[in-house]
Amino acid sequence: MMNGMSAWIDTHVHLDEFIHHGGAGHADAERRRAAQAGVAHCVLPAVERANFDAVRELAQRHGDSYALGIHPLFTRHAGDEDLQALVDELAQRADDPRLVAVGEIGLDYFDKTLDDERQQHIWREQLRLARRHDLPVIVHSRRSVDQVLKGLRELPVRGGIAHAFNGSEQQAGILIDMGFKLGFGGAATFERAHQIRRLAASVPLAAIVVETDAPDIPPHWLYVTAAEREAGTPPARNSPAELPRIGAVIAELRGMAADELARASRDNACAALPRLAALLA
């Protein structure tokens, strides 16, 4: 507990992106603000070779954890040398207790400019690496849940987190049976997000983890409309400090207390990412 508040775990935040927006001091300030709001721990997934060092160093500096991987949106520029860099980094950091997963990895069929063969190749190679190191995975599955499930069936791993899950109830059940937890965040705060809100309310409590994906996927209270952007309002930027309020919305959808959801999602995060338990002990 922190200052009488629930100790939340943000299972998906790109804290290193705040460096690009305002320097290292800005990222550190955002993390301190999150801590003051009640966020006890953040998981920082990499998205490309270029930010492997940044996520590791931020995790070490703030007592958080990190994952290493190549995001599907970055596969358009990633080659065999990037995969080899991931191979080398995972081997070098194999005994680092703060390295908790391979991620953010997966498939994205929303972006039609991506090369399917390339992203499939990089996705499958990263699943093989997760198997080699017996690590869970943090999965991106935008418009691609069935294809992601196909890869996981052919190259099963020790579970992990389906980040920003937006699939069907049947797909949710399959992932849960595979040992995955489902990540819910700012999208669940929008009343029009009917499917996500139904899932957040109905999947087993033991399957839920909470996340912000900051600075992306802002909750409704930060959202900037297209008209506002055209009028000069800067785009919304999410923050890990928003997690307790996002969690409270999800708890309300489930008809439970926010403190109860904070405890359950913490336990679920430790189950999904086993190295977390030792860090949080």
194 is in an annotated binding site: no
**Residue type present at position 42:** C
Phi, psi for residue 179 in degrees, rounded to 5:
95, 15
The answer to whether the annotation marks 163 as part of a ligand binding site is yes
CA 273, 30, 252: angle at the middle one, nearest 5? 60
Q: How far is CA 224 from the centre of its chain?
A: 22
- Region for 185 from its dihedrals, namely left if φ exceeds 0, alpha if ψ lies in -120 to 50, beta otherwise: beta
**Which spans in 111-257 are helix H?**
116-133, 145-154, 169-177, 194-202, 226-230, 243-254
242 among annotated binding-site residues:
no
Q: Would you say 140 is a known binding-site residue?
A: yes
Count CB atoms within 10 A of the CB of residue 109.
17
Q: DSSP string covering 181-222, please? A: EEEE-GGGG-TT-HHHHHHHHHS-GGGEEE---TTSS--GGG
Amino acid identity of residue 7, one-letter, is A
- Give the span between the Cα atoms of 80 and 108, in whole angstroms: 20
Q: Known binder of ligand: residue 77?
A: no
H or E stretch including 104?
strand 99-108
Query: Measured at the alpha carbon of residue 33, what is the angle toward residues 31 and 35, in degrees to the nearest 5?
Result: 70
- Long-range CB pairs of 173-176, under 8 A, 24+ apart, other chains included: 174/149, 175/149, 176/203, 176/204, 176/207
Query: Is 12 flagged in the annotation as binding?
Result: yes
Please enumerate, by residue number, every residue annotated as part of a binding site for a divalent metal cation. 12, 14, 104, 140, 163, 213
Please enumerate, by residue number, every residue annotated as part of a binding site. 12, 14, 104, 140, 163, 213
